[in-house]
Amino acid sequence: MPQKDDFSLQDFTPYLLNQAAEESSLAFQRVYKNRYGMLRTEWRVLFHLGTYGEMTATDICTKARIHKTKISRAVQKLVERRFVVRARSDEDRRVEKLKLTPAGDTAYRDLRAVAEEYDAKLRAQFTSGEVALLRMMLKRLAGLESAE
């Protein structure tokens, strides 16, 4: 008869983080999925280009910590849908600079508005001090110390 340890699965940080991440992503996922037929990597690429401006695929890989094959496929989809255009760089012809089309920018702004409202709703459950602390802790756990 195995005597119980005080280990609690619900308090295991990676597990709890995953539960919170999944649950808190659900409603937003429904929007980009139903409204634009996008996948997770696709909205992330869209948002990177929307918030940071022109970037290369590798820039997005680094910043978003997503593997290059996923980025490659997401970019293809976004280009097909005319949300993104690519342009070979003149200095280095391996590189392609990515940016949003006007249609892509419209989609980005639409989703960004949803994201802002949605995030405000999530934050409303807590005090602003709690939110600040949460962000600090999550950034440290994510390995996003200040820079990057």
Partner DNA sequence: GCTTGTTAGTTACAAAAACAACTATTACCA
Partner DNA sequence: TGGTAATAGTTGTTTTTGTAACTAACAAGC
Span from 31-39, 54-62, 86-94, 115-123 in contact with a copy of itself (CB under 8 A): 115-123
Q: Is 134 in the site for a copy of itself (CB under 8 A)?
A: yes
71 within 8 A of 61, measured Cβ to Cβ: yes
Span from 12-20, 69-77, 106-114, 135-143 in contact with DNA (CB under 7 A): 69-77
44 binds, options a copy of itself, DNA, none, Cβ within 5 to 8 A by partner type: a copy of itself
15 within 8 A of 9, measured Cβ to Cβ: yes
Q: Is 119 in the site for a copy of itself (CB under 8 A)?
A: yes
Compute the least distance from the CB of residue 63 to DNA, in Å: 12
What is the 3-state composition of the chain as percent helix, strand, coil, each rounded to the nearest 5? Answer: 65, 10, 25
Q: Is 115 in the site for DNA (CB under 7 A)?
A: no
CA distances from 69 to 31, 65, 138, 144 (A): 25, 12, 26, 23
For residues 86 and 100, what is the distance between their CA atoms, to the nearest angstrom? 9
* Options 3, 11, 94, 117; binder of a copy of itself; rule CB under 8 A: 11
- How many degrees, rounded to 5, is the angle at CA 56 between CA 55 and CA 59? 80
- Note the residues at the interface with DNA (CB under 7 A): 39-41, 56-58, 67-73, 75-76, 86, 92-96
